[in-house]
Amino acid sequence: MTSILPLSSAGRFRHGAPSLFKASRLRGELLVSGYALQFGALDNFGTWYEATGWPSGRTVEVPIILSHNPEQEVGVCALSPDAEGVFAEATIDDVGGSIAGAIKTARYSCFSADIVLPPSATVRFAAGKPFSIEQWDIAAVSLVGMEAPAVRQSADRGPVVLHSRAELVELLRASGLARGAAERIAAGGWPALETATAPTITSINSTIETLTKSLMENSK
């Protein structure tokens, strides 16, 4: 069963799932690009963001900050959506080279969106657990380290390309599934995916929701 409930004020400020970026230097500036937010990737509250929350064609500029600290603003980035998520292209003032040094040592290796939900935002629940959010915005983008495997193993723009069943298993695990469940889904689904376009994280989450409902109905 799916239900829709309002959010408490404590849940209105969230951190998006870390996503790898790539960086290059141009004189005293760092140019950094990657996905600030991936549609379907779980945030720090265990929910994911639907593409409908970001109007098609909308482009904005937001600050780049360090580790979700608004007092450590280091640059600005342009955000634009595509089918995978919201892509960020950032320019960082790094004359002293300290941020480049932190990237080299992997202290910073990922983007993570600083997400703000409007007071009217609601969360969709499935099988008693928070599932997805339709209304959201990005106030800033943080440079963070990788505390857990990133859902995307590439900073390039565009669809995730899967080359093996093992890669599908890791994608499912990064989306929140236990290894056993991911392996069972991959075992049944990989033959159909081998000759198809790689699935998006959003479509995988929708499949998980459908399977969860089916399992609950069959256990009654």
Domain region containing 45: 2-144
The C-alpha atoms of residue 77 and residue 165 are separated, in whole angstroms, by 35
> Is residue 127 located within the same domain as residue 51?
yes
Answer yes or no: are the C-beta atoms of 11 and 3 closer than 8 Å: no
Residue 159 lies inside a defined structural domain of this protein: no
Confirm whether 93 is domain-assigned: yes
In tens, the pLDDT along 66-117 reads: 999 999 999 999 999 998 899 999 999 887 789 999 999 989 999 999 999 8
Given a cut of 90, whether residue 50 has pLDDT beyond it is: no
What is the tally of structural domains in the chain? 2
Q: Identify whether residues 15 and 117 lie together within a single domain.
A: yes
Has residue 1 got a pLDDT over 50? no
Higher pLDDT, 131 or 52: 52
* Rounded Cα distance, 101 and 109, in Å: 11
Whether pTM > 0.85 for this model: the answer is: no
Task: In whole angstroms, give the CA distance from residue 113 to residue 134.
Answer: 16
- 2: pLDDT strictly greater than 50: no
Confidence at residue 112, expressed as pLDDT on a 0 to 100 scale: 94
Same domain, 173 and 126: no
Same domain, 198 and 94: no
The better pLDDT of the pair 176, 63 is held by 63
Do 40 and 140 lie in one domain? The reply is: yes
Of 215 and 36, the structure prediction assigns the larger pLDDT to: 36
Question: Where a domain ends, among 95, 111, 144?
Answer: 144
Looking at residue 187, the DSSP 8-state letter turns out to be H
